[in-house]
Amino acid sequence: MSGETLRVVGQRVRKVDGIELVTGRAKFAGDLVFPGMVYGYAARASVPAARIKGIDVSAAEMSDGVLLALRGGDIPGPNIIGILPPFDQPILATEVIRYVGESIALVVAESREAARRAARLVKADLEPLAPILTIDEALAEGARAIHPKGNVTCANRLVKGDVEQGFAGADVVVEGTYETSHQEHGYLEPEAVCAVPSADGRMTVYASCQSPFHLRGHIAANLGVPASSVRVVQAYTGGSFGGKDDVATEIGSLAAVAARRLDRPVRIAHEREESIIGSNLRHASRIHVATAAKKDGTILARRIRVLLDGGAYASESPFVTVKALVHVAGPYRVPNLLVESTSVYTNKTYSGACRGFGVPQSTFASESNIDELARKLGIDPLALRRKNALKAGDANATGQTYPASVGIVQTIDAIEARRGALPPLPGNDGRWRYGRGVACLLQGISNGAEGVDVVGASVQVSQDGSALVGVGLTDIGQGARTVSAQIVSEILGIPLPRVTVRSVDTDSVHDSGPTVASRNTTVGGQAVKMAAMEVRKSLVGMAARMFKVEGPLVDLRDGFAVLTVDAAARIPLSDVATAAYWTGYPLMNLAFSKAPDASFDHETHQGSVYIAYNYGTHLLDVRVDTRTGAVEVLRHLACHDVGKAINPLGLEGQIEGGSLFGFGLAHLEEVLFRDGRIVNANFADYALPSIKDRLPTEAMTVEDPNPTGPYGAKGVGEPPVAGAAAAFANAVADATGIRFHRLPISRQEILLALKANEGKG
Amino acid sequence: MKDETMRIEFTCNGKLTSVEARLDMRALDLLRDLLGLTGTKEGCGRGECGACTILLDDEPVNACLLYAAKLQGRRVQTIEGVAGADGSLDAVQEAFLEEGAVQCGYCTPGMVLSARALLRKNPKPDVPAIEEALSGNFCRCTGYGKIVRAVQSAAGAAQRAEGAVQRAEGAVQRAEGAVQRAAGKASS
């Protein structure tokens, strides 16, 4: 690796774990079978709020094939899960029911059918409470407290400059309230775990999950054993998007407790309905935005209030609330800014992490408002955004500045250049209305304000010159293993087929925290790079001795150590590795990548929060059918500043997939509650985008290298969601002349609004 | 009735298979639990997501909606039967990898089988035909664009392969003709 030319990083490469997926050989957690395995199935609450007087499992226990029925009191440990304080969520509810679908008992039986049948026989003696189902009900004076400390999960403020003064000097103020609904992750694989006890007292849990170390901690605590006696192995995971965290700890703990009691392997595999009602959703939101600007479009100040409906338990609400707080002002210079962000409890399925983590909701609100400002001032929407866009050295919402890798202007320019070359949209005729929307966004990469950010990675080279890589973050479909393999291949010159990246096993990698915040490539990749660089020293040092030259004259590439001055002089890496082994050079390294700590004022949220931001600009053209309200997306340009694309093929997949996720939020998807009960907990009634709904996304990138990421890379898993959702809303507003203030902007909503407008006309 | 069983005989991935199954068993569970063919996935249990797609006499069906007894005497292909015995991938599998049409991979077995069924009937599908054929298979990861491209690419690869076969056959015929002509001359 000469440092100038990259051979593997930056190439379009196939997924390193692709063959087992296209052949169906990959074992997901629900595919695993162990001798003597039995099946767990939860009994769930059927009312949204009640005091529990008793839970009777005797009939279930008598049912055919049933081996065990667990209630909350049977959990040896604290019967609590949760990723963050306040740790308010029981595994099995014992005193109070807070949402429909909450687990109240687990039945374990010889077959899945027997367990399922018996779970229906669990009887709960309940004293119903009036459910609290909306943000307003939760915040109403005198409202019943869903949790002892009240109905506010958390409340944060961001204060920058003097917002009153900013508004006082304004030529124009644009104000609006914007709402979004709950979204379901909709990963194709419902949650599943399999807990396998072993004779030495240890417990191994194979799990479809996102953050294996969360599972290990909770499972150990709830078993009442040391963490060192629990091993969590991530099985192939069929999508997660933030959704397989809390619920994986719930079923992982339950399966482990049952497995210990029975001394038999226990599998819990959710059905689709359970996956929707019994695991977290995306927060619904109501966001009020007021923006003050000068006539020339310069933003002077923004005053924003974010309210998030977090459902029955805290889950990741505290972090989502902060993420919304920090992102809602957008990728702009806003000298005077006041944001209040609050999350509340309601008696609904809890909300937590979901691809974008508060940013899609915030971006929809902020970008709708910016669009209204552009319209009011008669300024081109892209030009207005460009005028206010952050540049390197500018203070962002938290007052943080970056010397580089602030690529928002480049993404605007790239979209602008493309827009300039496009034919004009057709004019509206009787039936069809055409419109174009743009949206800009930013998304913080790394845990940042959400906690310490350490990743451990190991690289070991065998005597045959192959490499084994372990990293503490998970591949949940996004292609993380491939990125790690490319980095190791690049540094050690080992061809990709000879680099193996293990799945996460808590026994053999360092606790690297959760796989969240688009941090896998950025922070995880850095750890892999560091470990590989250490092993490289041994290989280069050994090869130099073999060549009888100085180390700098040796390069590793294509499976050989070569002389930089004479590429024909080469030694197979297997010979170098073997010699290094017999010479006693270390061929394994464990490295830690630690992102700089966030340091900010908790009262004002001013300070350093994230190690980097991904920036993006989306453009979306639509055609609206005024007879049916149907929207056809004619064009979608999605441009992101990714720092450096490690695997452009995988990166495009992230942008295309993330965009459709956002389009679903904006147009198709809504978890519908009636009296606190989800009434569309299946894929017939919940409109997951199908192949016919796909966007004509054209993924574009600009690369403004991020000094904190490997080869300058920044994560891209989450950011496209916000861009596509907000651009869609703006495109529909442009086409119809109607500003929609709530997502999803469904076909039906559009038709109703068009009809109402006709009436006025 | 629920405990009654019956012997079900069918062809599974080219092999005659005989298995004793409960009458109320789903084809999905027979394949997964009795035969260990876990490449067929369960995503919804209601025929809405397509993760459990198998080919029944070359037609894609949702194995979660099918009673095991319905397999009697039929020909079944699961994802495990797509690649060659030597591990060689078929054109659709290759194309899914090459085009980046796989992310988490949970929908992939069903997608591959639906795509194969399409290409068998319609070797040159246009985009609407691909959309129609895959509209019963959900994917949450990819946004579908790369899946459409993969099917197009597999169709192209198959046509190129067929073209090569036809060219080879033509060459053989021409060679045979030449041989016959030569033989005719020799005998005359």
What is the CATH number for B64? 3.10.20.30
Tell me which chain A residues have a C-beta less than 8 angstroms from the C-beta of B98: 14
Final residue before a domain boundary, out of B43, B60, B81? B81
Q: Name the closest residue on chain B to residue A20, using Cα atoms.
A: B105
What tokens were used for A69? 């029925």
User: Is B123 in the same domain as B172?
Assistant: yes
Q: What is the pLDDT of residue A662?
A: 98
pLDDT exceeds cutoff 90 at A740: yes
Whether B72 and B94 share a structural domain:
no
- Average confidence (pLDDT) over A250-269: 98
* pLDDT over threshold 70, residue A1: no
Residue-range definition of the domain harbouring residue B2: 1-81
Q: What tokens does A478 get?
A: 């996004």
Of A266, A275, A213, residue with least CA distance to A240: A275
Q: Does A188 touch chain B (CB under 8 A)?
A: yes
Asked if residue B6 and residue B54 are part of one domain, the reply reads yes
| Option in A188, A694, A695 nearest B51 (CB) | A188
- Bridge pairing between strands A80-81 and A89-90: antiparallel
Amino acid of residue B62 = N
Q: Which CATH class is domain A18-25+454-594?
A: alpha beta
Q: Which residues of A2-24 are buried (b: 16+ CB within 10 A; e: fewer)?
A: eeeeeebbbbebbbbbbbebbbb
Last residue of a domain, one of B66, B81, B96: B81
Q: One-letter amino acid identity for A446? A: S
Q: What is the tally of structural domains in chain B?
A: 2
Model confidence pLDDT, tens digit, residues B158-182: 778 778 888 888 888 888 888 788 7
pLDDT of A627 above 50: yes
Co-location of B52 and B95 in the same domain: no
Tens-digit pLDDT profile for residues A666-696? 999 999 999 999 999 999 999 999 999 999 9
pLDDT (tens digit, 9 = 90+) per residue, A279-293?
999 999 999 999 999
Q: Which two tokens stand for residue A537?
A: 């020293």
Q: What is the phi/psi pair of residue A508, to 5°? A: -130, 10
Domain boundary among B57, B81, B105: B81
| CA angle (A171, A175, A181) in 5-degree steps | 155
DSSP string, A187-241: -SS--EEEEEE-TTS-EEEEE--S-HHHHHHHHHHHHTS-GGGEEEEEPB----T
State the number of CA atoms in the 13 A half-sphere of B21 facing the CB: 25
Nearest to A694 among B80, B93, B144 (CB): B144
Closest of A220, A185, A186, A191 to residue A203, by C-alpha: A220
- The average pLDDT across A354-367 equals 98
Do B132 and B55 share a structural domain? no
The pLDDT of residue A215 is above 90:
yes
| Average confidence (pLDDT) over B122-132 | 97
Candidates B29, B49, B141: best to mutate against A (most CBs of A within 10 A) is B141
What φ, ψ does residue B143 adopt, rounded to 5°? 80, 5
Assess whether pLDDT exceeds 50 at residue A3.
Answer: no
Helices (H), A467-524: 480-492
Q: Is 0.90 topped by the overall pTM?
A: yes
- Using CB atoms, which residue from A22, A477, A656 is nearest to B93? A22
B140 closest CB neighbour out of A187, A237, A694: A187
Per CATH, A18-25+454-594 and A284-448+600-760 having the same topology is answered yes
Please tell me the predicted confidence (pLDDT) of residue B187. Answer: 64
Percent with pLDDT over 90 in chain A: 90
- CB–CB contact B107 A237 (8 Å): no
- Identify whether residues B68 and B125 lie together within a single domain: no
Q: How many residues would you count in chain A?
A: 761
By CA distance, what is A27's nearest residue in B? Answer: B38
- Where would I find the H helices in A389-443? 408-421
- What is the predicted pLDDT for the residue at A696? 98
Q: What is the pLDDT of residues A53-63, one digit of tens each?
A: 999 999 999 99
Residues B54 and B145 in one domain: no
**Is ipTM over 0.90?**
yes
Average of per-residue pLDDT values in chain A: 95
* B34 and B52 co-located in one domain: yes
| Type and span of the H or E element at A321 | helix A317-327
- Do B138 and A688 count as a contact with CB atoms less than 8 A apart? yes
Q: How many CB pairs under 8 A join A and B?
A: 170
Q: How far is B132 from chain A (nearest CA, A)?
A: 8
User: Residues B51, B107: one domain?
Assistant: no
Q: Band of the pLDDT at A534, cuts 50, 70, 90?
A: very high
Residues within 8 A of B (CB atoms), A 25-64 only: 25-28, 30-31, 33
CA distances from A16 to A186, A558, A721 (A): 25, 17, 26
Fold of A32-129+191-269: Aldehyde Oxidoreductase; domain 3 (3.90.1170)
Write the CB contacts of B175 (distance below 8 Å, at least 6 apart in sequence).
none
Least confident of A278-282, A327-331, A559-563, A710-714: A710-714
Which of the four CATH numbers 3.30.365.10, 3.40.640.10, 3.30.1330.10, 3.30.70.260 does domain A284-448+600-760 have? 3.30.365.10
**Residue written as tokens 């529990």?**
A52
How close B66 gets to chain A, by Cα (Å)? 17
Per-residue tokens: A379: 């300024």
What is the domain-level CATH number for residue B168?
1.10.150.120
Q: How far is B98 from chain A (nearest CA, A)?
A: 6
In chain A, domain spans? 18-25+454-594, 32-129+191-269, 284-448+600-760
Instruction: Kindly state whether A479 is in contact with chain B, defined as any CB-CB distance less than 8 angstroms.
Output: yes
Q: Scanning every residue of chain A, which has its alpha carbon at the shortest distance from the alpha carbon of B105?
A: A21
pLDDT at A450 over 70: no
Say how far apart CA A496 and CA A473 lie, in whole Å. Answer: 20
CB-based contact A188 B93, cutoff 8 Å: no
Determine the pLDDT at residue A304.
98
Q: What is the pLDDT of residue A71?
A: 98
Q: Do residues B76 and B96 both lie within one domain? A: no
Is residue A559 over pLDDT 60? yes
Mean pLDDT of A378-383: 98
Measure the CA–CA gap between A697 and A361, rounded to whole angstroms: 21
Please tell me whether residues B72 and B4 are part of one structural domain.
yes
pLDDT of residue B185: 72
Q: What percent of chain A clears pLDDT 70, i.e. is strictly above it?
A: 98
Total residues found in chain B within this entry: 188
Are both B77 and B88 inside the same structural domain? no
pLDDT given at position A516: 67
